[in-house]
Amino acid sequence: MMMRVLLICVASCLLVVNGEDIINRCTLAKLLYEEDLDGYEGYTLPDWLCLAFVESNFNISKVNENVDGSFDYGIFQINSHYWCKDYHSHSENFCHLDCQELLDPHLLPSIQCAKKIVSMSGGMRNWAEWKLHCSGRPLSYWLTGCRLS
């Protein structure tokens, strides 16, 4: 009994220290599939998974400050200068949402905004990390072991 209590305490401390909301790769693949992202604007599910990995390491709650004073939010690291309102810097707010919504664990605001970004000029090339690490590379391994249905 004492060992069980100790284990729970240690696990709780690790969760608090870590503070990250990491989504499982296959769980994300299934969600993206259900939201019709496979083939959206010519990009495959592996493209979307690679994007989420290189931008946030599947961390739903990641926020990163940029040198220009803008912030990147969520699993796709969507920038506050153009896509959402964060009340810290000027924003075009093309996705018409509060940046905090991009940290929603259900991911629907992030997915909708990412779809808007991809449908504009440049597609996934709007993400520098995707260009560097995903574009033009074989990516099918991102779905290895995942069941989509």
Domain ranges across the chain:
22-143
pLDDT value, residue 95: 97
Q: pTM for this structure? A: 0.85
pLDDT value, residue 90: 80
Mean pLDDT in consecutive groups of 10 residues from the start of the chain, 149 residues: 41 44 97 97 98 98 95 97 89 95 97 97 96 97 95
pLDDT value, residue 19: 54
Q: Which of 47, 72, 86, 101 is catalytic?
A: 72
Q: From the options 3.20.20.60, 3.40.720.10, 1.10.530.10, 3.30.70.270, give the CATH code of 22-143.
A: 1.10.530.10
Compute CA 51 distance to the chain's CA centroid, rounded to the nearest angstrom: 8
> Is residue 72 annotated as part of the catalytic site, yes or no?
yes
Task: Determine the Cα–Cα distance for residues 20 and 68; give it in Å rounded to an integer.
Answer: 25
**Residue 33, Cβ neighbours under 10 Å: how many?**
16
> Is residue 55 annotated as part of the catalytic site, yes or no?
yes
Which residues lie below 8 Å from residue 142, measured CB to CB, with a gap of 6+? 25, 29, 45, 46, 49, 50, 53
Task: Determine the Cα–Cα distance for residues 104 and 91; give it in Å rounded to an integer.
Answer: 20
Q: Which of 21, 38, 55, 65 is catalytic?
A: 55
